Amino acid sequence: KQRKKHKIAENRRRQQTNGPTRQRRRRTHIYSRTDENSSGNGSPPPRIIDNVTSLMTQFDWSKIQQVQAAYNDAIAYNKVVGVPLYPATQPIHSTLELIRIPTYLSSLRLITYLRKIPEFELIDSDDRVILVKHNLLAVVFMHIVLIYDPVADTYHEHNTQDPIFQGKDWIEILGEEFYHDLTATAKKLIQILEYDRVIIKLLLLIIIFTKAFCGYDIAHEPSLNNRFIVSNIHSITTHLFTNLINSLSAIQRLSS
């Protein structure tokens, strides 16, 4: 009995000496940027940040890489022809030239980009036509954020042989007031998103998947044959967009 008491007392002394076991801090791999320029294969570079649980799942990151690949393929597939190549400057002096060169090229690339997104092919063929026909103009304008350099006031698709288009030519065609509004919006988005280009690429998809996004022609815009599929794809894309924004915002707060 005395021996048992001695053993209990010895165990107590040992626990007091060692103290409570310290919990291991969990380390979570998350990504600080999603810009395709940050790595060779388009996958975001890893950062290890203590006590942070990433809002992005592995599936989310695979979708991001899919978006990056679709956009890059669309750019590579639709190369500029018949004009001087980068770093040459291509002047534009008429509305026809504005439509025929930069606007037409952007439209082709954006349509190809959409067709390389698997979810887009799930949409009814007539519904795809409706969405593209009525929302493409808004997508082309949003695409300006990806190609606009606010410092030089020029336009150029990254990592291409496209010539440089100058803002002063656009002013001549669009008018100074409209051009100022256009570039002011682009500058704000560039500043807010801090050049995280994949966010804009997701936003392009959200615009396309938004029925009646351009309200100017709602009265003449046909109904969709299967609005539930479009709504579901819109929700999935918006969820991915939101997760990415929240994840990057959390990283930014920790870094500041």
- In tens, the pLDDT along 218-233 reads 778 899 999 999 999 9
Q: Which residues contact 144 (CB under 8 A, 6 or more apart)?
A: 155, 182, 186
What sign has the CA pseudo-torsion 5, 8, 14, 18? negative
pLDDT digits (tens, 9 = 90+) for 4-54: 445 555 555 554 444 444 433 333 344 444 444 444 444 445 544 433 446
Helix (H, G, I), strand (E, B) or coil at 31: strand
Residues 81, 161: Cα–Cα separation, whole Å: 10
Q: Which residues contact 104 (CB under 8 A, 6 or more apart)?
A: none
pLDDT digits (tens, 9 = 90+) for 61-118: 999 999 999 999 999 999 988 888 999 999 999 999 998 899 999 999 999 999 999 9
CATH superfamily for domain 27-255: Retinoid X Receptor (1.10.565.10)
Which of the four pLDDT bands, split at 50, 70 and 90, describes residue 253?
A: confident
pLDDT digits (tens, 9 = 90+) for 158-214: 999 999 999 999 999 999 999 999 999 999 988 877 657 899 999 999 999 998 787
